[in-house]
Structure formats: C-alpha cells, structure tokens
Amino acid sequence: MRFLWGIAGLLCCATALAEFSGFGAPDSQAMPQVLTPARLSQPQSQVPASVTVIDRQLIEATGAREIYQLLQLVPGMIAIKVDGSVPTVSYHSTQARDTRRILVLVDGRSQYLPGLARVLWNDMPLEIEDIERIEVTRGPASAAYGANAFHGVINIITRHPQEMAGTTVATRHGNNGVQEYRVTTAASGASSATRLTVASRADDGYDKPFDGEDRRDGKRIRSANMRSVFELSDHDTLEFLAGGSQRVLQLSESGSDFGELLDYIELPEDQSEEAFVQLVWQRQLSERHQFSVQAYSQNKRTSQPALGCLKPLMEGLPAATGAAFFSQEARDLFEASGRMQDVFSEAVGSDVPLLTRINTLALSGAGALCFKIDPAIEETRHDIEVENTFFLSDAARVVVGANFRHDRGKSETYTDGAVDNISRRIFGNLEMHLADPLFLNVGGYWESDDLNGAYFSPRVGLIYQFLPAQSLRLVWSESIRTMDLYEKRADIHIRPQNISGVWASDTEALLGWDDPEFFASQSSDGRLKPERIRSYEVGYFARVRSLEWDLRVFREELYDLVSGAINPFSFRPDNLSDVDIQGAELQVSWRPHPRHLLRATGSRIDTRASHPQGDRFTRLEEALAADQIASVLWRYDIHQGWMLGSGWYTARNWSYADYERADLHLSRRIRGRYGMIEVSGVVQHLLTSDPVVRRDNLYKSDNLYWLSASVAF
C-alpha cells in the first residue's frame, strides 16, 4: 500500500512540475501510436493494454550490445543470462526456463520455436543497429496473437530500408572476450529499397572460474539479414525478408547432460543453424480499409555433439563397467524400478550377472566404452496469415484475420523421428467509440491444432479518456500456452555413434542388443493440457506537456502450469502448479529539454506459487520472481555530435539474491564530406557481488566495458 501511495505522490509532483516548471516546453508532438496490443494503430491512451515502447533514441542511449539487454527498460521484466551465455527474457518471471511463456515477433514473424518451446535470443539473425523500435505488450495477449502470447508480446520492428543509405562498417571490442564486426549496406531506387546486414559476435560469457573449473560458456555467432521493400503501385507494397544465423556456445563438462558420466575427448558444444524467408503484401484499398497477407518459412537445427568415454559404474571399479549404462539389462532394471534413476543405481549395483560379465570383459583387456553422441532437433515452420482492417462506421473499427500453420519437429533423440502439428486460427478485435469519452475494445482468438485441440482466448478493455491525453483503462483477459511437440510427443532415446574398441565387435553379445541405447528412456503420455492465465488490470496513462507515464495495477492467476522435470533423465511433468501474481508497475518518460530524455520504470510484485507436492515445485515457479524491479536511463545530447547515456538497473529479492548495475555510455559522431565516423565507449559496473540466479554465474571483474567504432559512407 505504501508503494502505491508513493506512486500517487510521484505522479502528482511530476504533473505539477511539468505544468509549472520552466523546463517543460509545450508538447507539440502528436499522441504516440502503437500497433501491437490490438493489431490496430491506436493512440497509446486508447489501447486495451499496458505498452512499453523502446525507440531508436532509447536504444542508442543504452549502448547495449545484445537485443535482450534492451528489455531491462520494461517494468516487471527480467532480462539476464541464466545458463551461461543463454539469455532469458521473462515478464513477471516464474521458471528460469520461462521463455516458454512470452511471444517474440520480428517484423511479424514468430521467434517462438515449436519443437522445444523457447525463444533463443542468441540466434536471431538481427542486430541492434537494425531495430527501429520495440513494442512490448505487458500482460496476456493471446486474444490478439494466439497461444504462447501467454504473458505478453515483444514486437521487434526493424528499420525501413529507405531510412538508411550507403554502407556502414563497424567493430566492437572489450574485456570478457568481446569481439564484434558488422557491415550494413542500404540502397534505394524510385520504387524499391533494400537493406543488408552481415555480422559476427563473440564473448566469453561468465568468466570467473567456479571450484577451479573453466566456465566454458563463451559464444560465437554469425548472422545475416535482408529486408527489401517494393512499391508495386500507389496502393500495393511488397516486402521480402530473409536471413539466417550460425551459433556455437561452449559447454562445460558439468554443464552438459552427460557431464557426470563421460570423460570427454572433445568437449561439448551447443550448435545451431537457422534460416528464414518471408513475404508481406499490403494493399491500401482506401483510407478506411487495409488488407495484408504474410507468409514465411523458417528452419532451425540445434545439436550438442560430444565425444567421450564412459566413467566407471562406481568409484574403484574398472573403466569398462561404465558400459552398463548402455546395456539391455540396465534398461530392464530402469523400467522395473518405475523409471527412477536413483532406484536404478541401487539395483544395478546388486545385479550380479550384469557386473560379472562387465568385470570379465574388463579383466580381458576391454577398455572404457567410447562413442560420440549428438542430441539434435530440427524445427520447421510454414505460416500464412491474412488480415483485414476496416471501419464499420465513424465510431467503430475492426480487424479480422485467419492463420494457417504447419509445425514440424524432427529428432532421433527427443521424439524418435518426426512429429507434425497443423493449426488453424481465426481472430478479431473491435474498437468502438461508445460515447465521449468512452472507448471499448473487444477481441478474441480461436485456434485449433492437431495436438492440443481447440481453444478461445478473449479480452475486453474499457477506456475512459477523461482528457485528450489522459485515460483510465479496465482490462480483463485470458491467455493460454499450448504444449509443444516435445511436451506432447516426447519419446527419448539416446543412442551412441561410432562405438570404439571391443564394444563395436558384437554389441548384442556384449551389451545385450544390436542397437544399444542409454538406459534412461522417457516418453510423454500426451495428456498435458495447455497452461492458462487470467488477468485483471487497472491502468492510468497520461501525457502532460513533456511528461508521460503509464501506471498498471494488476492481478494474474496462472493455473494448469507445467512445472515438473521434462529432461532426458527425468520426465515427470504435470498440470498441477498454480501461481498468483499481483502488484503495480510504473513507467515514466520525461523530456524537460530537447537535448534531455529521462526514462524510469519500477515495479513491486508479489508472487505466490502452490503445488500439491510441496516446496520443490513452488521453488521452481518462484525461481526468477523479483519483489522489486527498477531502471533509470538518461540521455543527454550534449553538442556537436556528443551523446551521453547513463543507466541504472536493479532487481531485489530475486532468486534469493539482489542484482544492481550502473552503466555509462559516451559517443561522438563526426560528419565529414564523404560520410560519418562514430566512436563510443560503454562501461557496465556491477554494484552487487551476488551471482546471477545460479551460484556459479560470476564475472572476474565488476566492470564490463567495450569500445565501438563505425564508418558510414
């Protein structure tokens, strides 16, 4: 309650300051327009959701290297690296793998992968310099975008090729192994424009050794992306987008699934390759009627190849005894124990015939069982969508559309082959001006797919715009997250490749079967239901001269959550977890002078999880939840091309620790006769020494820094 009173006091003081201070110049700009919440271009004072917009000025002020870092400017959002070099971005965070619960779009193309539900921020073939703006819908958005817009939508919109010209060559270097290179070229003609970017990025991840072990969580990424726009006529526009990326993440021995079982000959890596093509046709039938068709195809392959030899079954036994983990007897014991790995370990130690045979082989000179493993999955999506936007009357506007999608996941490890899922969707949103000053938004999304069945996600928003630039909103909405291909059709089999030595001579006699597998075999019963969320929101948006704010007070009820383990060693998911989240969020933008821009955000959130089986599951759902999250970013355009940006970011009581960081960014642009040179430097200073989520996520230095330089001609 004191927090809410503090917010109210801040707003009153800010309004008075904006109205009466000499710094507050009259606001000559139109009300900001946003597109994402209802698929309609609307003034931010009339949208049925809380929205955060991160534009080019804010992006440049941060000096951020990676896209996920920009989301630290969103109230209530956690954006950090949980697994070494793998970023996690989550709104009202629950599980550390919570990338399953938010939808990310890049120019309308979903980044949410269908096979193993996740968003891989490292792999997006997109550079920060190519982003025009990011619109974040905070709160359930399935009514506009369907399943998996469970907790919100991050809509990344790239820069139009016509807004860029010439060629830019850039590089960035810093401590922590930062090495980056980028080339962007853009050209425009009478009726077309094209932008092409090729880039590479590398860093060392968390670099402080833990228990004397090298972290091995560095990354190397190469990417390319292109956007071409063709003006076919006065009414028709065609866009062609394409791109791809290659990524390698280092994995430590303990960070690999087989770290406890294998002595590695070649240390494991997490590798991926992806590519996409996209077409967007837009037709302006009239000032009051627009029509568009979008189609895209994307393909992604991820794998974790490793080469090694099995450790002994138990300490003190010959190395050859490790082969028991790939024996038919071990599989039988595992199945008989109810697929409990601990019970299996006890049983295999008491299985005299198995150990006798393995020991006999060891005494005869058989060494350890060495092999290669390559857990991999290929995920493919083909998607086509039509959208029609028109006015029903002067007081009513509607957007309706349909979507057809084919998803495929193919993996010999995770699904024992290919699994397909075809989905069909119909959506719509109605905006009505009921009477001055009352607006109504009603939207819904119906979808049906082969694996999850049919579902409908509704949203109702009532906006009371009591002043031209101030409004109150009441929003009720529901969203779902459907189960991915793996959760529905998991059929896990880990098979060794290139078996070495005597073990390859007669696998049936030595291991009990012709096609040996790791003893643990898991499968899904296909009964998991979609996760659900119900949200209630009261919001207040205002723009008073040079000051703008958005206040959101909310309650969210998450239920039927899947919290149990779903890895190759333990597959025990269920729909029994519930989470209740309530709190308040505030974002404020203030431009007291044309050269100054201040953005501040804050949130106070109470997260309470429950599960019939107790604390182990509730801890999972509260793993990333922070009580307080805040950020402040100030941009000062000094003069003659100089720009200063400074930021502060914090998360309190987050994963049983605190996080706080201060940034400083200084840049200079020098325009010459033939082009422009830009140089900049960024320092990020960690103000807390707590590890980031996990106890081994630490840096050697409290300061991360990098220097950048670019030449445009």
Type and span of the H or E element at 12: helix 2-20
**Can you say how many angstroms the Cα of residue 308 is from the centroid of all Cα atoms in its chain?**
32
Q: What percentage of the chain exceeds 70 in pLDDT?
A: 92
Contacts of residue 308, defined as CB under 8 A and 6 or more positions apart, other chains included, come to 258, 262, 263, 264, 265, 266, 370, 371
Domain map (residue ranges) of the chain: 2-310+373-483+528-712
Burial 445-466 (b: 16+ CB within 10 A, else e): bbbebebbeebebebebbbebe
Would you say 249 and 219 are in contact if contact means Cβ atoms under 8 Å apart?
yes
- Nearest 5°: phi and psi at 199? -150, 160
Task: Indicate whether 353 pLDDT > 80.
Answer: no
Q: Which of 14-18, 514-518, 556-560 has the lowest mean pLDDT?
A: 14-18
pLDDT by residue (tens digit) across 97-152?
667 899 999 999 999 999 998 899 999 999 999 999 999 999 999 999 999 999 99
| Tally of CB atoms within 10 A around 610 | 14
**Amino acid 341: pLDDT:** 59
Question: How far apart, in whole angstroms, are the C-alpha atoms of residue 319 and residue 310?
Answer: 7
Kindly state the average pLDDT of the residues 157-182: 95
- The answer to whether 80 and 269 are in contact (CB under 8 A) is no
Residue 673 has pLDDT above 50, yes or no: yes
Q: What pLDDT, on the 0 to 100 scale, is given for residue 355?
A: 67
Question: Distance between CA 559 and CA 533 in Å, rounded?
Answer: 6
How far, in Å, are 184, 390, 647, 704 from residue 700 at the CA level?
34, 57, 22, 10
The length of the chain in residues reads 713
Query: Could you tell me if 418 and 410 are in contact, meaning their C-beta atoms sit under 8 angstroms apart?
Result: yes
Window from 49-53, 175-179, 342-346, 444-448 with minimum mean pLDDT: 342-346
Q: Which residue's entry shows tokens 């939207």?
A: 443
> What is the structure's pLDDT at 21?
37
Residue 656 has pLDDT above 90, yes or no: no
Residue 22 is predicted with a pLDDT of 37
Task: Quote the pLDDT of residue 9.
Answer: 44
Q: Count CA atoms closer than 13 A to 8's CA, side-chain side.
A: 6
Greatest alpha-carbon span in the chain = 92
174-196 mean pLDDT: 95
**Beta carbons of 27 and 610 less than 8 angstroms apart:** no
Higher pLDDT, 362 or 218: 218
Strands 103-106 and 262-266, by their bridges, are: unpaired
Higher pLDDT, residue 53 or 19: 53
Closest Cα partner for 361 from 507, 262, 503? 503
Indicate the range of 189-203, 298-312, 617-631 predicted with least confidence. 617-631
Evaluate if residue 14 carries a pLDDT over 60: no
Q: What values do phi and psi take at 238, rounded to 5?
A: -120, 130
Contact assessment for residue 567 and residue 575, using Cβ atoms and an 8 Å cutoff = no
> Mean pLDDT across the stretch 317-331?
83
Which one-letter DSSP state was computed for residue 48? S
Looking up tokens 């199945």, which residue turns up?
Answer: 335
Q: How many other C-beta atoms can be found within 10 angstroms of the C-beta atom of residue 513?
A: 14
Question: Which among 375, 208, 379, 362 has a CA at the least distance from the CA of 298?
Answer: 379
Closest CA to 467 of 45, 52, 101: 45
pLDDT at 348: 58
pLDDT band at 351 (very low <50, low <70, confident <90, very high): low
pLDDT for res 226: 97
Each residue's pLDDT tens digit, 697-712? 888 889 999 999 999 9
At 97 the pLDDT is: 62
Say which range, 125-129, 274-278, 383-387, 618-622, has the weakest mean pLDDT.
618-622
Across the chain, mean pLDDT equals: 89
Note the pLDDT of residue 134. Answer: 97
* DSSP classification of residue 415: S
* Residue 330 Ramachandran class (φ > 0 left, ψ -120 to 50 alpha, else beta): alpha
255 or 334: whose pLDDT is higher? 334
In this prediction, residue 363 carries a pLDDT of 72
What tokens were used for 592?
A: 């007291």
pLDDT digits (tens, 9 = 90+) for 432-471: 999 989 999 999 999 999 999 999 999 999 999 999 899 9
Model confidence band, residue 8 (pLDDT cutoffs 50, 70, 90): very low
- Report the alpha-carbon distance of residue 175 to residue 83 in Å, rounded: 20
Q: At the topology level of CATH, where does 2-310+373-483+528-712 sit? A: Maltoporin; Chain A (2.40.170)
pLDDT at site 687: 94
User: What average pLDDT does the segment 340-362 reach?
Assistant: 63
Q: Contact 38/48 with Cβ under 8 angstroms?
A: yes
What does the pLDDT average to over 559-566?
87
**275, pLDDT greater than 80:** yes
Which pTM does this prediction carry?
0.92
Residues 15, 553 contacting (CB under 8 angstroms)? no
Query: What six digits make up the tokens of 671?
Result: 């325009």
pLDDT of residue 10: 43
Q: What does the alpha-carbon distance between residue 531 and residue 514 come to, in Å, rounded to a whole number?
A: 41
Residue 176 has what DSSP assignment? T
Q: Please compute the mean of the pLDDT values over residues 64-90 and round it to a whole number.
A: 91
- Non-local (6+) Cβ contacts of 383 within 8 A are 109, 110, 294, 295, 296, 297, 403, 404, 405, 406
Beta bridge partners of 678: 669, 710
Q: Does 643 or 500 have the greater pLDDT score?
A: 643
Q: Give the other-Cβ count within 10 Å of 222's Cβ.
A: 17
Q: Give the residue with greater pLDDT, 521 vs 415.
A: 415
**Which residue type sits at 633?**
L
pLDDT at 214: 76
Mean pLDDT, rounded, for 413-442: 95
Residue 477, beta-bridge partner list: 459, 535
Q: Rounded distance, CA 257 to CA 549, Å?
A: 46
The letter for the amino acid at 366 is A
- Which amino acid type is present at position 413? T
Task: Say how far apart CA 434 and CA 460 lie, in whole Å.
Answer: 14
DSSP tally for the chain: helices H, then strands E: 10, 36
pLDDT value at 572 more than 90: no
Residue 616 half-sphere exposure, CB side, CA atoms within 13 Å? 5
> Position 173: which residue type?
H
In the chain, the amino acid numbered 249 is L
